[in-house]
Chain A
Amino acid sequence: MSGPDDGHAGPDDGHTGTSGRTGQATLTAVPPRPPAPEEPPQRPGITRWAADLAMGGRFAVTGGRESWARTIMTAVGVGLGVTLLLFAASVPTMDSARTERSNAIAAFGFGEEPEPGPGTVHVAQANTDFRDMDISGVVLAPDGSRPPHPPGISGVPAAGEMYVSPALKKLLDSDEGKLLRDRFPYRVAGVIGDSGLSGPTELRYYAGITPKQFDSVPSSYHLDSWGAQDTSGDELDPALVLLVVIGCVVLLLPVLIFIATAARFGGERRDRRLAALRLVGADIHMTRRIAAGESLFGSVLGLAVGATLFLLLREAVGGASMMGLSFFTSDITPSFPLALAIVVTVPASAVAVTLIALRAIAIEPLGVVRNATPKRRRLWWRLLLPLLGIGLLAPLAGGFGVGSSGGDFQSYQAAAGAALLLIGTTALLPWLVESVVERFGKGPVPWLLATRRLQLSSGTAARAVSGITVAVAGAIALQMLFGSVEGQSTEETNQDPNRAQLMMNIKVDNGAQARDAFDRLGAAKGVRSVLEITEGSISDAHSKAKDPADIPTNSLTVAGCPALRELAHITSCRDGDAFIVTRDPEYTGPDNAFAKPGAQVNVAFDDEGMPTPGKQKLWTVPRSAKKVESREDPNGALHSGIFATPGAFDISDLANPQAVAMLRLDPKVPDADEYVRNASVTITPTLDVTQITSSSQSSEFQTIRNVLFIGATSTLLLIGASMIVTTLEQLRDRKRLLSVLVAFGTRRSTLSWSILWQTAVPVVLGLALSIAGGLALGVLLLKMVGEGIAVDWAGLAAMTGIGAGVILVVTLASLPPLWRMMRPEGLRTE
């Protein structure tokens, strides 16, 4: 190639040719030297950077099929990561939009209850369940002419009408909802608008009832406006905060690692192309900037792919319900600062990753030279990261969330500590893989091929596995924290679902109404028996107290022998018997003193629940009444006082009775509980049927667990996808070698096993490291919330299994292309 000043004549220089042909050597005939082209002006640094980056961008698309393939791979990889990041960045908006709407539709009766008037509405909560689906409901009746109405509907529904959410309408109209229709004896007057729902799949209704119907409602109140104050100021439990913080770190770190990996997709081929640029005069810095330009282009394209995927998936996710959570499409909007951070940091990270990767490579004019004897990886800085993490987390031991000040700072400290510990675990992996594989040598051919490959490029293998390592380490730590938090937020209810499965508190005016309610419930399909309990009060008929409030009282429970046996340790019982029941047999307090066998007691009470000394209705406690000890009822409650069978006390004499029905269901009848709930609407419109369960879990905990599960699954899928791409890329680069190996008779199984070993070795090392890192983080987290150290071995096994499963899937997915590439066509060069 001629340089601009090499003295050769240009094509338009006629003198030289003539002179040469004639052989004349006169000095005067020497042609004047053509003017040298001007040196291109030296561009300032930033302009040169921009020009080189732009050239890289051009190469990303103009280098033919191979360039496009690499650009598309990077763009899709980065795009997948960006999609997840955009969803993560939408979480604050989703949360605030949902909370805002939930607050707006709240019908809590907190604070001063307004006097009923023209501007108030009488309401009662009427929530119910249908086959594990929660249905929120409110029954209401206007107190006057200007009642406030709930958001999302145009007015208070008239008695006998209801407004339903679109999801509930769909359910009621479906075959599945056929059984549910009987529970709502109301005409559907309209559909609740989005502003009246916390999410699109929420099952909600507002039913209008008559003022008279409120007589059978145990708890109701009046409202002059809808909505509650923002409750977001309520502090979450510190352990839950820690769980959310660590969860975010654990879920987002693998995504960032994935993006960094995606920026290096196809790097080896790109490096070979860059060598060609060196041949035509590009210096080493230019080639690096050009490579960075290619990555920048790919990552910017990835941002576009990610944004497009996000917009498409947002439509699908909006309106879908996952683990009981649903969001409107409009809620899924990334917060502006986070979106901006993604737009800036993703391309910047891609450039940084490319430049760092190129530091270990010498791109020479005649080819790419990877350091033949790469420098040994240094341990000190890799250890520094987890140690720094431990240093940040350790001071929080026992003190996380204690005190009102510094809560945010502690959260940041915890997040930074966890991130450093997890990143440190990942950073240790290449060193660990290198240190271990260099000790491998002898073995069968597949093992030899795999370990030698790992010895040559342990970094590539470690990079592929690092995402899994973070995810598994984080998941193990979270599992340990979960175990602790679960213990805290799951309360044993002391309920015994073996003795009864459903319970209903019924507001009745008299014994006849209680009888009627028991009969209605007992007639429901699938009810095997009803434990019928009617409770009221008795007072000391001979009290000298002047103020009725000072008259000693006790409770009187009237029920048949089978039901009484569920409430007290009664050995023999016949109709007509009565019992004096104490919670503690040693306890003989003053309240119980008047209620003794043969004593006369007053059973008359006014509407306010006060004894009526001037207008007594006397009943004599049977002399045969035995003293027995109380027993937890199926609902976990202890009852005491006088227990009487209907033969000993007529329930129609009971003032202000409260009926309690505990129902035993036939397990062979499907939907027996639904039939009972349907029957309950004939007793009260508020459907106060509760399930008897042995434990209850904090809904916050359940929500967080669900969100983390969704996130962890998405992350693992993403990592799996990245590993498949990396493995396929490695295989494609070795296409010719694979064909040569086939030519001299290498079995498919030999190469398949070598791929498996090549994947399995770093994975096993990664899993070992992640278990160690996860346990360390878990122990620190447990110490932070002041819990004892307990390892959830089952959870640990599950997480390890999931990680290993992803690897197996990746290996299996790599086999078909491996076998395709093991065809002799790879030998053809023409």
Chain B
Amino acid sequence: MTPAGSLLMADDLHKSYGPTPALDGAEFSIHPGEVVAVMGPSGSGKSTLLHCLAGIVRPDSGSVHYGGRELSTMSDSERSSLRRGEFGFVFQFGQLVPELTCGENVALPLRLNGVKRKEAEARSLSWMERLEVADVAHKRPGEVSGGQGQRVAVARSLVTGPRVLFADEPTGALDSLNGERVMELLTEAARETRTAVVLVTHEARVAAYSDREVVVRDGKARDMAGAR
């Protein structure tokens, strides 16, 4: 697939942590509503690529364009604002605020965006219903199962209506049944809302939910278009 019409595009990304290069000329692009799996062995640079694409980490060189804007030229607060409004995130673990209820966790990004509490609660409940976790809205993350917690996290990532959802090993801590259910719900909701999904995983079973696969090896990303 050509980068034309891309929502998010990275070119010649380099990033090192100390002497170790994590990215070495990686390239990436994604279109609206597209689900792209970023695959590769442990330590290959998958997560670093995701962090660079999301504007969490600045690459040492190279560029990331989103909506016609170069992320590295944006200030920290501009990138934070972009992440609050345009992006959503799901991580493998440790992402829900333990002291807030699941409902409050889902409403949190809306509240951070200044949405009124009642409206935020209503919208979060609707997403939780969609992800089949409305019944745990008043429970704390420590009181729900791993699969439920991960679906709460997916609801939280989608509640703001992001244009890009970044999912870093979203099923890594789940058993296969729960993992598949999470992936079904995630990709279904994303396709319905035309949200692009950058899905970092090393599991082929999870990557199977994507439209396209990109393999990262030794810091280089190789498009496996039509792999499925």
Chains A and B bind each other: yes
Residues of A within 8 A of B91 (CB): 740, 743, 827
- With CB as the reference atom, state the residue of chain B lying closest to A824: B56
* A528 CB within 8 Å of chain B: no
* B194 CB within 8 Å of chain A: no
Q: How far is the CB of A441 from chain B (nearest CB, A)?
A: 10
Task: Determine whether the beta carbon of A456 is less than 8 Å from that of B99.
Answer: yes
Contact of A827 among B47, B80, B117 (CB under 8 A): B47
Known contacts A372-B143, A449-B100; is A743 also within 8 Å of B56 by CB?
A: yes
Of B29-37, B103-111, B215-223, the one contacting chain A is B103-111
A410-469 residues with Cβ-Cβ distance < 8 A to B are: 442, 444-445, 448-449, 452-453, 455-457
Contact of A442 among B88, B112, B117, B142 (CB under 8 A): B117
Q: How large is the interface on A (under 10, 10 to 19, 20 to 34, 35 or more residues)?
A: 20 to 34
Task: Determine whether the beta carbon of B47 is less than 8 Å from that of A830.
Answer: yes
B13-71 residues with Cβ-Cβ distance < 8 A to A are: 17, 42-43, 47-48, 51, 54, 56-57
How many angstroms between the C-alpha atoms of A515 and B178 in the bound complex? 109
How many angstroms between the C-alpha atoms of A168 and B81 in the bound complex? 68
- With CB as the reference atom, state the residue of chain B lying closest to A740: B95
Contact of A745 among B42, B97, B112, B143 (CB under 8 A): B112
Task: Determine whether the beta carbon of A744 is less than 8 Å from that of B99.
Answer: no
Known contacts A445-B111, A452-B104, A740-B89; is A745 also within 8 Å of B83 by CB?
A: yes
- With CB as the reference atom, state the residue of chain A lying closest to B157: A744
* B85 CB within 8 Å of chain A: yes
Task: Determine whether the beta carbon of A824 is less than 8 Å from that of B51.
Answer: yes
Counting chain B CB atoms within 10 Å of each CB, the highest count among A456, A743, A830 belongs to A743
* B84 CB within 8 Å of chain A: yes
* A737 CB within 8 Å of chain B: yes
Q: How far is the CB of A749 from chain B (nearest CB, A)?
A: 10
Residues of B within 8 A of A452 (CB): 97, 99-100, 104
* A742 CB within 8 Å of chain B: yes
* A746 CB within 8 Å of chain B: yes
Known contacts A372-B143, A824-B56, A827-B56; is A745 also within 8 Å of B80 by CB?
A: yes
- With CB as the reference atom, state the residue of chain A lying closest to B93: A736
How many angstroms between the C-alpha atoms of A827 and B166 in the bound complex? 13
Contact of A449 among B48, B82, B97 (CB under 8 A): B97
Residues of B within 8 A of A828 (CB): 17, 47-48
Task: Determine whether the beta carbon of B89 is less than 8 Å from that of A743.
Answer: yes
What 1/0 mask marks residues of chain B from 71 to 87 whose CB sits below 8 Å from any chain A CB?
A: 00000010011111101
Q: How far is the CB of A101 from chain B (nearest CB, A)?
A: 59
Residues of A within 8 A of B51 (CB): 824, 827
Residues of B within 8 A of A825 (CB): 57
Known contacts A745-B80, A827-B51; is A740 also within 8 Å of B94 by CB?
A: yes
* B98 CB within 8 Å of chain A: yes
* A747 CB within 8 Å of chain B: yes
Counting chain B CB atoms within 10 Å of each CB, the highest count among A442, A445, A453, A824 belongs to A445
- With CB as the reference atom, state the residue of chain B lying closest to A442: B117
Known contacts A744-B88, A744-B109, A827-B47; is A737 also within 8 Å of B97 by CB?
A: yes
Residues of B within 8 A of A372 (CB): 140, 142-143
Residues of B within 8 A of A456 (CB): 98-99, 140
Task: Determine whether the beta carbon of A747 is less than 8 Å from that of B94.
Answer: no
User: What does DSSP make chain A's interface, helix, strand, loop or mixed?
Assistant: helix
Q: How far is the CB of B66 from chain A (nearest CB, A)?
A: 14
Counting chain A CB atoms within 10 Å of each CB, the highest count among B85, B92, B142 belongs to B142
Task: Determine whether the beta carbon of B109 is less than 8 Å from that of A745.
Answer: yes
Q: How far is the CB of B68 from chain A (nearest CB, A)?
A: 20
Q: How far is the CB of B79 from chain A (nearest CB, A)?
A: 8
- With CB as the reference atom, state the residue of chain B lying closest to A452: B99
- With CB as the reference atom, state the residue of chain B lying closest to A451: B99
Task: Determine whether the beta carbon of A736 is less than 8 Å from that of B94.
Answer: yes
* A750 CB within 8 Å of chain B: yes
Counting chain B CB atoms within 10 Å of each CB, the highest count among A448, A744, A747, A827 belongs to A744
A-B contact count (CB 8 A): 82
- With CB as the reference atom, state the residue of chain A lying closest to B156: A744
* A343 CB within 8 Å of chain B: no
Residues of A within 8 A of B140 (CB): 372, 456
Residues of B within 8 A of A445 (CB): 108, 111-112
Q: How far is the CB of A483 from chain B (nearest CB, A)?
A: 44
Task: Determine whether the beta carbon of B56 is less than 8 Å from that of A742.
Answer: yes
Residues of B within 8 A of A747 (CB): 77, 80, 112
* A171 CB within 8 Å of chain B: no
- With CB as the reference atom, state the residue of chain A lying closest to B172: A829
Residues of B within 8 A of A829 (CB): 47, 92
Residues of A within 8 A of B57 (CB): 824-825
* A741 CB within 8 Å of chain B: yes
Residues of A within 8 A of B87 (CB): 744-745
Q: How far is the CB of A495 from chain B (nearest CB, A)?
A: 64
Residues of B within 8 A of A830 (CB): 42-43, 47
How many angstroms between the C-alpha atoms of A463 and B77 in the bound complex? 36
How many angstroms between the C-alpha atoms of A740 and B92 in the bound complex? 11
- With CB as the reference atom, state the residue of chain A lying closest to B57: A824
What 1/0 mask marks residues of chain B from 89 to 132 whose CB sits below 8 Å from any chain A CB?
A: 10110110111100010001101100001000000000000000
Q: How far is the CB of A827 from chain B (nearest CB, A)?
A: 7
How many angstroms between the C-alpha atoms of A742 and B95 in the bound complex? 11
Residues of B within 8 A of A750 (CB): 112
Residues of A within 8 A of B98 (CB): 456, 737
Task: Determine whether the beta carbon of B94 is less than 8 Å from that of A737.
Answer: yes
Residues of B within 8 A of A744 (CB): 83-84, 87-89, 109, 112, 157
Residues of B within 8 A of A746 (CB): 80, 84, 112
How many angstroms between the C-alpha atoms of A671 and B179 in the bound complex? 86
Task: Determine whether the beta carbon of B111 is less than 8 Å from that of A448.
Answer: yes
- With CB as the reference atom, state the residue of chain A lying closest to B139: A372
Residues of B within 8 A of A824 (CB): 51, 56-57
How many angstroms between the C-alpha atoms of A744 and B140 in the bound complex? 20
Task: Determine whether the beta carbon of A453 is less than 8 Å from that of B99.
Answer: yes
Residues of B within 8 A of A457 (CB): 99
- With CB as the reference atom, state the residue of chain A lying closest to B44: A830
How many angstroms between the C-alpha atoms of A457 and B47 in the bound complex? 33
How many angstroms between the C-alpha atoms of A827 and B94 in the bound complex? 10
Task: Determine whether the beta carbon of A745 is less than 8 Å from that of B82.
Answer: yes
How many angstroms between the C-alpha atoms of A827 and B47 in the bound complex? 9
Residues of B within 8 A of A743 (CB): 54, 56, 83, 89, 91
What 1/0 mask marks residues of chain B from 169 to 181 whose CB sits below 8 Å from any chain A CB?
A: 0000000000000
How many angstroms between the C-alpha atoms of A455 and B142 in the bound complex? 14
How many angstroms between the C-alpha atoms of A742 and B81 in the bound complex? 11
- With CB as the reference atom, state the residue of chain A lying closest to B88: A744
Residues of A within 8 A of B77 (CB): 747
- With CB as the reference atom, state the residue of chain A lying closest to B85: A745
Q: How far is the CB of A339 from chain B (nearest CB, A)?
A: 44
- With CB as the reference atom, state the residue of chain A lying closest to B54: A743
- With CB as the reference atom, state the residue of chain B lying closest to A443: B117
What 1/0 mask marks residues of chain A from 357 to 378 whose CB sits below 8 Å from any chain B CB?
A: 0000000000000001000000
- With CB as the reference atom, state the residue of chain B lying closest to A457: B99
How many angstroms between the C-alpha atoms of A742 and B87 in the bound complex? 12
How many angstroms between the C-alpha atoms of A455 and B80 in the bound complex? 29
How many angstroms between the C-alpha atoms of A698 and B121 in the bound complex? 67
- With CB as the reference atom, state the residue of chain A lying closest to B142: A372
Residues of A within 8 A of B143 (CB): 372
Residues of B within 8 A of A448 (CB): 100, 104, 111
Q: Can you list 19 pairs linking A and B with CB atoms under 8 Å apart?
A: A442-B117, A445-B112, A449-B99, A452-B97, A457-B99, A737-B94, A740-B94, A743-B54, A743-B83, A743-B89, A745-B85, A745-B109, A745-B112, A747-B112, A750-B112, A824-B56, A824-B57, A827-B168, A828-B17
Chain A contact residues, CB within 8 Å of chain B: 372, 442, 444-445, 448-449, 452-453, 455-457, 736-737, 740-747, 750, 824-825, 827-830
Q: Which 7 A-B pairs have the closest CB atoms?
A: A745-B84, A745-B83, A452-B99, A824-B56, A456-B99, A453-B99, A745-B80
Given known contacts A740-B91, A744-B112, A744-B157, what 14 new A-B pairs fall within 8 Å (CB)?
A: A444-B111, A445-B108, A448-B100, A452-B100, A456-B99, A737-B97, A740-B94, A743-B83, A744-B84, A745-B87, A824-B56, A827-B91, A828-B48, A830-B43
